[in-house]
């Protein structure tokens, strides 16, 4: 089995000497990654709620499409405006020397 640790360290060292523009782009990417994770978390949480059967609950129903878009936007706003910590830790991990 190949050593993954060496490859991760080699890739991570690429991000050590960043220009300010690259730092900003990396921070934004970390925030976006965090929002995607929270979006999937919201989707999983929504799937645990028991369906009533009153509305059309197929994958393509307007209600499900709206809920999916709503969850994505809430996750994005939550992560962009609040410091939840995951993006910060990811950024530190990628930029540590």
pLDDT band at 97, cuts 50/70/90? low
- The domain of 9 spans 4-47+55-95
Position 1 scores a pLDDT of: 43
Angstrom distance (rounded) from CA 58 to CA 42: 18
Position 6 scores a pLDDT of: 56
Domain count, the chain: 1
Please tell me the pTM assigned to this model. 0.67
Angstrom distance (rounded) from CA 67 to CA 11: 37
């Amino acid at each position: 089995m190949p050593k993954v640790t060496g490859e991760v360290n080699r890739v991570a060292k690429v991000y050590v000497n960043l220009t300010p523009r690259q730092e900003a782009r990396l921070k934004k990417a970390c925030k976006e990654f965090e929002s995607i994770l929270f979006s999937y978390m919201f989707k999983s949480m929504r799937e645990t709620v028991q369906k009533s059967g009153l509305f059309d609950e197929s994958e393509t129903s307007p209600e499900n499409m709206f809920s999916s878009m709503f969850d994505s936007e809430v996750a994005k706003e939550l992560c962009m405006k609040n410091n939840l910590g995951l993006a910060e830790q990811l950024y530190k991990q990628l930029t540590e020397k």
